[in-house]
Structure formats: C-alpha cells, structure tokens
Amino acid sequence: MAQPPAFVFNILETPEDQGQDPSPYDESEVHDSFHQLIQEQSQRAAEEGLELRVLPQREPGPETLGASGSGHQALLGPEGVPDYSTATLRILASMPSRTIGRSRGAILSQYYNRTVRLRRRGSRPPLGGVGRSARPSLRLYDLELDPTAFQEEEKRTLLVKELQGLTVAQRDHMLRGMPLSLAEKRSLREESWTQSGKQRGPQGRRGLLPCCSRLRYACGLALHSLGLALLSALQALTPWRYALKQIGGQFGSSVLSYFLFLKTLLAFNALLLLPLLAFIVGVQAAFPPAPADSVPTFTGLELLTGGGRFSHSVMYYGYYSNTTLNQLCGPPLDGSQCTPEAGGLPYNMPLAYLFTMGMSFFITCITLVYSMSRSFGESYRVGSTSGVHAITVFCSWDYKVTQKWPSRLQQDNIRTQLKNPVSAEREWELLALPLVVCLLNLGAPYLYRGLAALERHDSPILEVYVAICRNLILKMVILGILCYHWLGRRVGALKGQCWENFVGQELYRLMVMDFVFTLLDTLFGELVWRFISEKQRKKRGKPEFDIARNVLELIYGQTLTWLGVLFSPLLPAMQIVKLLVLFYVKKMSLMANCRAPRRPWLASHMSTVFVSLLCFPSFLGAAIFLCYAIWQVRPSSICGPFRTLDTMYEAGKVWVRHLEKAGPRVSWLPWIHRYLVENTFPIYLVSALLLAVIYLNIQVVKGQRKVICLLKEQISNEGEDKIFLINKLHSVYEGKERSRVGRAQEAEMPPTLPADERDAR
C-alpha cells in the first residue's frame, strides 16, 4: 500500500496579502494539497463537537457559476462573482489549469512530460530503480504535479536533458510546437545540441559513434536547407502572392476563396497538360505524318472557330497517326514481325494515346479525391456539438483584413450573427423542400427568380446554397444533352467524316465563347451595374462580388476542358491561358467595381463545397463521358490513332495479343489482363472490400463520438469536485479568520470589566 505523499501546507498570513491581486506570474507560491490542514480542522471540529459548517443550499439561479441544470453550491457576492477570500483566490490562481496558459515554468513542465512520453513510446521504463512506490503512475514522473518545489531553472535543465534523447527531427518538431518566445527556443535548441555533441562514451547502449551522429546531423541540416531553398524558390515563382494579399486585405477570406479556387484549377490543368505534352503532342510533333493534300492557310478566324488551319495540327485528334512511329525497318519479308534496326525506339501511337489519356485522368482523379477528402476532414470534426456562439466569438475575426471599411463591415456582420444565430440543423431541415422543388423544375431559369421571390428564407447562406444548386443542375443538364447529342447522333450523322475533330472543335468553340462572354460580362456588366446602382441609389451602392456565380462559371469551364481533352489534347493549355487572363481581369474588376460581401461566409466550408462540386458532377460526368467514348463508340475510320479499330479500347487488346505472341517472358501481363481486367469477379471483390472499409470507418467514428460524450461527463464531474474542494477550503480559511479575529478581540478587551457587566455576570 503506497504511502500518501507528505505535503507541506503554507498559508501566508501577512497583512500584505490582503491588497495583492493574485496572478499566476507569482511563481514563488507553493501549490500543494491541503490534506493535513483538513485533517487538523476535522480533528478540532470533532473535539469541539461541531459539525463542519454546511454551506447554505441555494437554488441554482442564473447567478450561479455559469452552470445550467446542476445545482452548485457557491458563495456569491453581490454581482454573482464568487466571493472568496484572498488566500483562496491565491491558491485558485496557482492551479495548474490556470497557470498553463501563462507561466513559463508550467509550459516547460508540460513539454517536459510530452518529451518524456515521446521518448518512452518505443521502450518501456526499466522496472528496477523505480523508487519506493509501486504505483505505475508514479513511474512516469509527472513533473506538473510534483509537489517538491522545482524552480524554473531545474525544470529547464530537465527539459534540455530530455530533448537530447530525441532525434534531431523530433527535437525540432517539439521545439517548433512550444509556445515560448524565439529567444527561449533558440537557447533551448543550442543547449540541447551542444551538450549532445559533447557527450561521448555513455551512449554505449545505442552503439553510435559521435562522429557519425555529427555527420548525420550535418547531412540532415544540409538537406533541410536545400529543401527550404527549393520551397522559397517555388514560392517566389508564384507571382500572385501580393495580389492575393491585397484581395484578402480588402475583401476578406470569402472573396479570396474564389481566387484560391482559380489557382487550384490552374494547378489541375497543368497536371493534366504535362503528360499529354510529353507523351502525345511532343512525340507527334517530332514525327509529323505525311501532310494532307490541301492544307488551308492561316487566317485570323481560326482563333474563334477552331477550324481551318488548326484542323491539320496537333491541336485535334485527327492529326495523330495510327501506326508505330520511329520504326525504321525494312519491308516484312515473310509476313513476320518487323524488327527495328538499331538506334530506333518504336513508339506505338494508338497505345500511347489511350494510356496517356487514361493515366492523366487517373492522376487527376486521385488528386481531386485527395484534396476533397483533406478539405472535408478539416471542415467537419467528430463530436462537434451544436451551438455557434463560442465559435463565432472566438474564431470569426479575420486578422488579414487591413482596411478600415472592411473591418467595420466585419464588425457589423459579427454583430448581426451574434444577435440572430442560426444553428446548423435548422438549415439542413429547411433545405429539403427547396431541393425537391428544384428537381421538379429543371431547365426553367425564369421560374427560378419567381421561386426565389416566393420562398422567404431566414438565412442568406441558405439562399446562396439553393441558388448554387439550381444553376449547377441547369448547367449539368445542358452539358448532358450536348454529350448525348455528340456521341449519340453526330457519330451516326458524320459517318464518313472525322467526327472526333468536329466534337473537338465544338468544345473549343464553347470554351472560347464562354471566355468571351465572361470577359464581356465582367468588364461591362459590373461596370454598367455600378453606374446604374450609383445613380439609382445615390449611395455607396457598388455591386457585390457574386462568388457563387463566378465559381460555377469556373467549374463549367473546367468541365468543358475535361470533356474535350480526349478529342483535343491541347485544350488544357488553352484553359491555362484563359485562367491566367481571367485572374487579372477579375481582380481588376473587383478592385474597381465591387465591394466586400455583406453576407457572412464560412470560407473553408465554401472551399470544401467548391472542390466537391468540382469532383462530383463535373469530373465524374467527364470521366463517364470518357469511358463511354473509349469503350462503346466506334472511332471514325479516316482519321486519328484508332482509325482501324472497332473501339478505342481495342488498342489495348491488340497490344495484349501482340504480347502473348511475343513470348513467355512477358506472359504475366496478358495473364493480368485476362483474369483481372476482363473478368468481372475482381471488380466485385474490390467493391465489397471498399464497402467493408467504409462501414468500419463509420463504426469507428460512432465509437469516438461516444467516448467524447463520456469524457465530457467526466470532466464535468471533476469540475464539481473542484468547486466542492474550493468551498471547503474557503470555509476553512473563514474559520481561521474568525478565530484569529476573535483572539485579537479578546486580547484587545480591557482586563477589568465595567461594574454593571460584572454584576450582570
């Protein structure tokens, strides 16, 4: 049975105590338990035959310590603030939960504990040499609760010693996370480094030579510096850092999210373009096919229509050859295969086209899903309770805003939010009806406005979401109809001609028109609207930057790119140019014509929504279109790399058959193709596995939610314990005070009583 540790209790009863405000800056306080004192008190109470004073039971009114529903006992002053004595307040102020945010010693202790835990994660502490106590908790040597008075210097030395036991990366990571000043961190790092460099010999257990560890440290340092230099070079390449800061400073995070989304789309297009350039466009440009009979000359109109000279260039599908390039071989003598001469690297163009398209889409898919899941993970947390007040008050101020007017606008927004908060559940319930109505009224834009006037939403955020949904459905339906039109009807109508070129050109034209109309709308529409609103309303009535509509335009443009890349491999390059121009045009128009949005936006939630919209209707639709085009549609017979095949996918099959004939060395590839790709059983297996993983994840999240509830209950119970102990402590102090005052009064009373009192006795 373990001995309870012996605590020393030290009440400072000097008169100076009364005037001082207790603050955790006073580290000289010994914060201990009062076990001995309570024992003393209960002994005295038992001797005097008194019970410990029971505090008056009070009804839990609104003045109790912010509690609701559970009756707490508290001594309350006139304003509802607990009226504790100064000595009690002093002890309260040195409680670990209050000092951790302020005092350096507490922070050092906390990080000492963390470092110890980190170091001991791999190995258990040795059982021998533990000390007198057999309790497992004491083995871990919790510095925060250790009652022996550790000065700050000793805590620091201990921390430095522990830091030396970590690897360099772990040490840096730990130091980076410490909320200390830079000078402190620097000195800690220097001390832990120099001392570990000086230690020789007693590292025998690890068996490391000191020179090797120094060399490793130097190499790590060099690599880290190189990494930092590369990162800074990359950041220097992004030319928009100042522009983004300007926009964020003037218009806030929500408008900034549009421009960040534009930057993300730029990155996606670059990712799509690079494999295409490397494996298709570049190769075909290096080995151009035999020129056609009549190649029209370049006139300026091709930039708008996409036809003419452009039809006979690497721009479109029809230009690409369906043979193996760079195959220098003689005529086949006996119908056997052509053996390439030395120096030539044969390049099977149809195969390359198919595989590169598939690979680019696959990479784009992985990147999209990864970024969507990452932003989703950041936006939504397990165990988030309802209630928006605390989050609004603590997290809603945007420190990036540097101008006076947007700052005042933020204050207005926050005030409105605080006065009329809308909880999340109500929003989703209200969404059900508008969604149903949406689905029933497709393709009727003029009805939308009427409906918006009829539905009176309580929250502006809901209006925005509903508007996004409606416009999105409209655009997707239009694109769906177009796809059906191309793949269903046009293929049949253009039997003898190069229909892929035609589809590519249509998409090119759509993109160009979309770009032109966006430019016109931005340059003139917002300008005209600003003049109209200024004249009409005669106040600062600049139009707001409509984030939802602009983001939908971007997504629409990106969908067009993804739809058309199969038929026009250079379309991403055009999209990149369009996005670059759009950034500057939108920024210019924003600065000149718009003002900061009045409605409060949750910027990170919106980013998640944008990326999800990009992934689900947009990319998924394009991927379905691509799959259908590759698997089911017959390519045209006069142009393109698949002109002799039944479907584009056959290029892969042809190659597999070719490999089968090639010999036993590569027989695993056709085997994989026959049993894993053509067979449907593995697909079912993989789907079943995925479903199982998803279900397990859902169960894990449910379990975590339960654990969070239990922990919250436990913390609340601990809080009640704490209040109980504080009240007991207060009663003890009061008792002491009263007895002290009583003794002082007795000492002050004159030794002889007046005559009548003596008579009365």
Partner 1 sequence: MEKPSLGRGQPTASGHAASLQFPGCPGSRDFPDAPYRIPPKVAPATACGRAHRRFCELLPQEHRSVEESLQIRVSLEQILSLPELKANPFKERICRVFSTSPTRDSLSFEDFLDLLSVFSDTATPDIKSHYAFRIFDFDDDGTLNRDDLSQLVNCLTGEGEDTRLSASEMKQLIDNILEESDIDRDGTINLSEFQHVISRSPDFASSFKIVL
Residues 632-691, interacting with partner 1 (CB under 8 A): none
Tokens of 546: 């409509």
Collect all residues with Cβ–Cβ distance below 8 Å to 159 and sequence separation of at least 6.
Answer: 108, 111, 112, 115, 188
Q: Does position 253 bind partner 1 by CB under 8 A?
A: yes
Q: Which pair of structure tokens corresponds to residue 392?
A: 């609004």
Residue 235 binds partner 1 (CB under 8 A): yes
Q: Provide the mask over 603-642, with x wherever binding to partner 1 is found by CB under 8 A and - wherever it is not.
A: xxx-------------------------------------
Cβ closer to partner 1: 374 or 743? 374
CB atoms within 10 A of CB 273: 22
- Which one of 73, 396, 533, 612 is in contact with partner 1 (CB under 8 A)? 396
Nearer to partner 1, 389 or 495 (CB): 389
Interaction mask 589-608, partner 1, x per CB under 8 A: --x----------xxxx---
Q: Which of 67, 461, 512, 580 lies at the binding interface for partner 1 (CB under 8 A)?
A: 67
Q: Which two tokens stand for residue 544?
A: 């707001």
Spatial distance between the Cα atoms of 135 and 133, rounded to a whole number of angstroms: 6
| Binding window for partner 1 (CB under 8 A); candidates: 47-55, 63-71, 349-357, 532-540 | 63-71
Name which of 417 and 637 has its Cβ closer to partner 1. Answer: 417
Q: Compute the least distance from the CB of residue 256 to partner 1, in Å.
A: 9
Number of residues that bind partner 1 (CB under 8 A): 93
d(CA 255, CA 607): 11
HSE-up of 374 (CA within 13 Å, CB side)? 6
The residue (of 307 and 719) whose beta carbon lies closer to partner 1 is: 719
Closest CA to 716 of 59, 70, 98: 70
Q: Write down the least CB distance from residue 502 to partner 1, Å.
A: 46
Task: Report 706-745 residues binding partner 1 (CB under 8 A).
Answer: 712, 715-716, 718-720, 722-723
Choose one: 247-255, 265-273, 445-453, 561-569; the region binding partner 1 (CB under 8 A). Answer: 247-255
Residues 144-203 that bind partner 1 (CB under 8 A): 172, 175-179, 181-183, 185-186, 189-190, 193
Residue from 86, 305, 379, 459 touching partner 1 (CB under 8 A): that is 379
Which CB atom, from 160 or from 325, has the smaller least distance to partner 1? Answer: 160
Output 82 or 340, the one with its CB closest to partner 1: 82
Q: Which residue of 246, 367, 373, 471 would you call a contact of partner 1, by CB under 8 A? A: 246
Selected binder of partner 1 within 394, 420, 440, 446 (CB under 8 A): 394
Task: State in angstroms the smallest separation of the CB of 526 from partner 1.
Answer: 16
Quickly list H helices, 420-566. 424-440, 445-454, 460-484, 491-493, 499-520, 526-537, 547-564
Rounded to whole angstroms, the Cα distance separating 707 from 711 reads: 6
The reply on whether position 20 binds partner 1 by CB under 8 A is no
Interface of this chain with partner 1, residues 22 to 51, rule: CB under 8 A: 22-25
**What is the C-alpha to C-alpha distance for residues 359 and 351, in angstroms, rounded to an integer?**
12
Among 397, 524, 531, 724, binds partner 1 (CB under 8 A): 397
Single residue of 385, 420, 680, 745 touching partner 1 by CB under 8 A: 385
398 to 417: interface string for partner 1, x by CB under 8 A:
xxxxxxx-xxx--xx-xx--
Cα dihedral across residues 276, 279, 282, 284: positive or negative = negative
Residues 425-464 that bind partner 1 (CB under 8 A): none
Name 82's bridge partners.
76
- Scan residues 524-563 and list those touching partner 1 (CB under 8 A): none
Q: Which of helix, strand or coil describes residue 458?
A: coil
CB of 92 to partner 1, least distance (A): 9
Beta bridge partners of 595: 544
> Site residues for partner 1, window 104-133 (CB under 8 A)?
none
* Contact in structure between 515 and 503 (CB atoms under 8 Å): no
Using the minimum distance from each CB to partner 1, give the nearer residue, 596 or 622: 596
Query: 536-575: b or e for each residue (b if 16 or more CB lie within 10 Å)?
Result: eeeeeebbebbbbebbbbbbbbbbbbbbbbbbbbbbbbbb
3-state helix/strand/coil string of 44-67: HHHHHCCCCCCCCCCCCCCCCCCC
The radius of gyration of the chain from alpha carbons, rounded to an integer in Å, stands at 38
By beta-carbon proximity to partner 1, the closer residue of 591 and 620 is 591
Residue number with CB closer to partner 1 (344 or 383)? 383
**252 versus 350: smaller Cβ distance to partner 1:** 252
Both tokens of 5, joined, read 């540790």
Nearer to partner 1, 176 or 761 (CB): 176
The reply on whether position 72 binds partner 1 by CB under 8 A is yes
Binding mask 80-99 for partner 1 (x = CB under 8 A): -xx----------x---xxx
- Closest approach of Cβ 390 to partner 1, in Å? 4
Quote the CA–CA distance of 353 and 360 in Å, as a whole number. 11
Judge whether 732 and 37 are in contact, CB under 8 Å. yes
Q: Which residues pair with 76 in a beta bridge?
A: 82
Output phi, psi for 494, to 5 deg.
-100, 55
- Of the two residues 211 and 454, which places its CB atom closer to partner 1 in the complex? 211
In the bound complex, what is the minimum distance in angstroms from residue 659's beta carbon to partner 1?
49
Binding status of residue 704 toward partner 1 by CB under 8 A = no
CB of 292 to partner 1, least distance (A): 49
Q: Does 62 bind partner 1 (CB under 8 A)?
A: yes
3-state secondary structure 612-667: HHHHHHHHHHHHHHHHHHHHCCCCCCCCCCCCCCCCCCHHHHHHHHHHHHHCHHHC
Rounded Cα distance, 257 and 610, in Å? 9
Q: CB within 8 A of 22, min separation 6: which ones?
A: 86, 89, 90, 92, 93, 94
Min dist. Cβ of residue 668 to partner 1 (A): 46
Half-sphere exposure of residue 745: CA atoms within 13 angstroms, side-chain side: 6
Tell the smallest beta-carbon distance from residue 613 to partner 1 (Å): 18
Angstrom distances, CA of residue 273 to CA of 277, 286, 317, 370, 570: 6, 18, 15, 19, 8
Residue 236 or 454 having the CB closest to partner 1: 236
Q: Which is nearer to partner 1, 224 or 489 (CB)?
A: 224
Q: Give, for 324, the enclosing helix (H) or strand (E).
A: strand 324-325
Question: Is 420 one of the binding residues for partner 1 (CB under 8 A)?
Answer: no
Residues 339-358 that bind partner 1 (CB under 8 A): none
The answer to whether residue 245 forms part of the interface with partner 1 (CB under 8 A) is yes
Asked if 142 is part of the footprint of partner 1 (rule: CB under 8 A), the reply reads: no
Question: Minimum distance between the CB of residue 595 and partner 1, rounded to whole angstroms?
Answer: 10
DSSP-based helix, strand, coil % in the chain, nearest 5: 65, 0, 35
- Contact between 273 and partner 1 by CB under 8 A: the answer reads no
* CA–CA distance, 160 with 151 (Å, rounded to integer): 15
- Contact between 249 and partner 1 by CB under 8 A: the answer reads yes
Q: How far is CA 337 from the centre of its chain?
A: 55
For residue 217, what are its two tokens?
Answer: 């440290």
**Would you state the structure tokens that stand for residue 419, as one six-digit string?**
């006065």
Using rule CB under 8 A, residue 749 touches partner 1: no
Locate 304 and state its tokens. 């708008």
Nearest approach in angstroms of CB 359 to partner 1 is: 33
